[in-house]
Amino acid sequence: MVKFIVPAVVIFLVVLFWEKINEVIYKKFNIKINYIILILSILILGVIFALLYF
């Protein structure tokens, strides 16, 4: 039961405080986290499609 509740609470808190998390990372590293997530998701999809193709 705990292994389902804890990740749900963590995901909820990340979604709730996304703007503050994004601002902190932008101030520290001068890069928006949205770009990092976009690049990673495109890269993961590319790898999955490449593995399905070959």
Task: Please tell me what DSSP assigns to residue 31.
Answer: S
Q: Two tokens at 12?
A: 């909820």
pLDDT at 42: 94
Whose CA is closest to 37, among 8, 16, 15? Answer: 15
pLDDT in tens, the chain (54 residues): 788 899 899 989 988 998 898 888 888 888 788 888 889 999 999 999 999 988
C-alpha 5/C-alpha 20 separation (Å) is 23
Residue 1 near residue 9 (C-beta atoms within 8 A) = no
Q: What angle do CA 27, 33, 6 make, to 5 degrees?
A: 105
pLDDT at 47: 94
pLDDT at 54: 80
pTM above 0.75, yes or no: no
